[in-house]
Structure 1
Amino acid sequence: MKTQALLASITLALAGSAFAAGDKHDHAHEHKPMHGGVVVEVKDIDYELVAKPTMIQLHLRDHGKPADVSKASAKLTLLTGTEKQEVELKPAGDKLEASGAFKVGPGTKVVALVTIAGKSAGSVRFTVK
């Protein structure tokens, strides 16, 4: 019985340590929106989606610094209720951007397939607030 209690104590202690370690970042930058959008981190890149009815922008930051998007592109799928819309984003200065008429609002789900400098596309998921 003592062995089981000891094993249970050790397991709980290790589980608590693992949980606490999951909250820490191993880098110094924060993942706050810098352009009023929604931020998601994937593989050390922060993706910030700014979605408005007439314009959609995607800002990329690598370890807190703007990433080079001159050879990047993104294909977005917007899901609002039962409606689906696809949007192509192209480089526009330091961001990827598209203009037009977009059905976006709180709760809109966005799946972005982002290609940077010819590398294979990475998937990023957002929920508009």
Structure 2
Amino acid sequence: MKFNHALLALAISVSGIAFASEKDHDTKPLHGGVVAQSKDIDYELVASADKLQLHVRDHGKPVDVAGMTAKVTLLAGTDKQEVELKPSGAALEAAGSFKVGSGTKVVAAVSKAGKSVASVRYTLK
């Protein structure tokens, strides 16, 4: 009976390691931005004073952003700014004048074909 318990414990520990490695995929920024995850998809926000970009990756592979949009809300102190990001190359992007800096909070509501896909939150450093 002890052998069965040991075998069961071994099987559970091995399956746990496999599950953990699948869930903990790499979330390092590839474009110098901040990465957040929603539903196993990585969303990297690259924010500067004149451009916002949202790069989308599925387990490290770029996602085709054609047909996607994102409504981004920037909260810098008491200032609130809403921006629509549209596909531009491999990312969702908007150009303009943006109040971004250390401590700015960002919420991105990502949609595809008019349906909500994800909501991701960031705090810029």
Amino acid at match of 1:101: S
Which among 62, 66, 74 is matched to residue 66 of structure 1?
62
Per-residue Cα deviation, 1:43-101 (whole angstroms, up to 9, x for no partner): 01000000000000000001110001011000000000010000000000000000000
Gaps in structure 1 of 5+ consecutive residues: 1-20
**Counterpart pick for 1:83 among 69, 79, 87:** 79
TM-score normalised according to structure 2 size:
0.80
- The alpha carbon displacement at 1:122 in A equals 1.8
| Range 71-80 or range 109-118, more displaced | 109-118
Report the equivalent of 2:123: 127
Query: Which of 87, 92, 96 pairs up with 1:96?
Result: 92
Structure 2 residue ranges without an equivalent (≥5): 1-16
Q: Distance in 1 between matches of 2:40 and 2:86?
A: 22
Tell me the TM-score normalised to structure 1 length: 0.78
Q: For residue 29 of structure 1, report the CA deviation from its aligned partner.
A: 3.4
SS of the residue corresponding to residue 82 of structure 2 reads strand
Alignment of 1:45-60 (within 5 A): 45-60=41-56
Q: Of 32, 35, 42, which residue of structure 2 is paired with 1:36?
A: 32
Which residue matches 1:7? none
Distance 2:100 2:24 in 1: 32
Any idea what SS the aligned residue of 2:28 has? coil
Give secondary structure in 1 for the equivalent of 2:86.
strand
Residues matched between the structures, number? 109
CA RMSD in angstroms comes to 2.0
Q: Deviations over 1:107-129 (max 9, x none)?
A: 10000100124432421101111
